[in-house]
Homo-oligomer: A and B are copies of this chain.
Amino acid sequence: MLYPHKRSIRTDLALEAQEILYERDPAQKIPGVETLTRSTDNTRVTKVKIFHAEGSRQLGKPPGTYITIEAPNMRRGGHAINDEVAQVLTEEVSALANLGPEATIFVVGLGNWNATPDALGPRVVDNLMVTRHLFEYAPQELRGGLRSVAALAPGVLGLTGVETEEIVRGVVQRINPDLVIAVDALASRSLHRISTTVQLADSGIHPGSGVGNKRLGLTEDSLGVPIIAIGVPTVIHASTLAGDALELFSQALVSSNIATATELEAALPAYNQAEMLEQLLPTHWQGLFVTPKEIDALIADIARIIAGGLNAALHPGIEAGTGEHYLQ
């Protein structure tokens, strides 16, 4: 009712997009969307499948499978929880990727290595076990439980002068992988998701998503190869903090009988709350994303979790939960 500003606040997470819809109308059915959940000790895994155009339109996400691993205790949670998240990631990537034994996988670390909150992708690539050069001429029977993995951090437009997509497509055309995995830092609308949520999607990376605001996309269509996008929220828009406070305050006013929801809505009509919020905010907030001050340590931890999880997902000889032993 009151909080349409959220619709206009950017999220890269399908799960958050869905939550926004349900907040507005908990009873609503979104056509062509299927949701499955499972849990482990410290994680909750939600799989949202968007089948057709109407669900896609309502959620603002292209059709595809979106898997969200939520682990609230992951933030600096110690080895045991990190290993558990890596293991869940391994299981979900394995199921989604469905790789043959001789598959070649190209892992792309998106983002800017000079900007810590955007450096997740490059850090994963740094840590990952890369094998393609060892196997180029080796027959499968000598590969010893390993698949062929290549990895590249292509940088960002401001560093290279070249669209990331151009670099990735150029390399894909030359090495012909069976699968591209793109790792990226995301924007979330909730502070509590930062470094506690991992999203997998088989619908690719789309313009404007991620911390660095891509101008082009990376999809199976544009690459000619299946792609799995792995993202972790590392920033939120500054105005989401303000919006959340505004929402909490409105609830307090209503429950204190100072104003009714109708009055509040009359004074601050739904259709323009988002703009009002923007206007209320000082110029310096516009377009500003923020990140916790511990971001360096958070990025280091998540990069290890994802690289470890991928090591075990991509190489049949590495047991789930032990991929971190093979970090570079």
Contact = CB atoms under 8 A, between A and B. Distances in A.
Contacts of A199: none
Contacts of A152: 154-155, 160, 162, 167
Contact of A252 (B150, B276, B293, B297): B276
A132 B161 CA distance: 5
Nearest to A72: B284
Interface in A155-176: 155, 157-163, 166-167, 169-175
A120 interface: no
Contacts of A296: 114-116
B248 A280 contact: yes
Contact of A150 (B162, B169, B291, B292): B162
Nearest to A235: B293
Contact of A267 (B118, B238, B258, B293): B258
A161 B132 CA distance: 5
Interface in A111-140: 114-118, 130-134
Q: Copy number of this protein in the oligomer?
A: 4
A34 to B, nearest CB: 29
A259 interface: yes
A144 to B, nearest CB: 15
A149 interface: yes
Interface stretch (A11-19, A40-48, A53-61, A239-247): A239-247
Range, interface on chain A: 35 or more
A21 interface: no
A319 interface: no
Interface of A: 114-118, 130-134, 148-152, 154-155, 157-163, 166-167, 169-175, 191-192, 211, 234-235, 238, 241-246, 248-250, 252-253, 256, 258-259, 263-264, 267-268, 276-277, 280-282, 284-285, 288-297
11 contacts: A130-B159, A151-B159, A167-B170, A169-B170, A173-B173, A191-B238, A191-B288, A241-B241, A241-B242, A258-B263, A290-B292
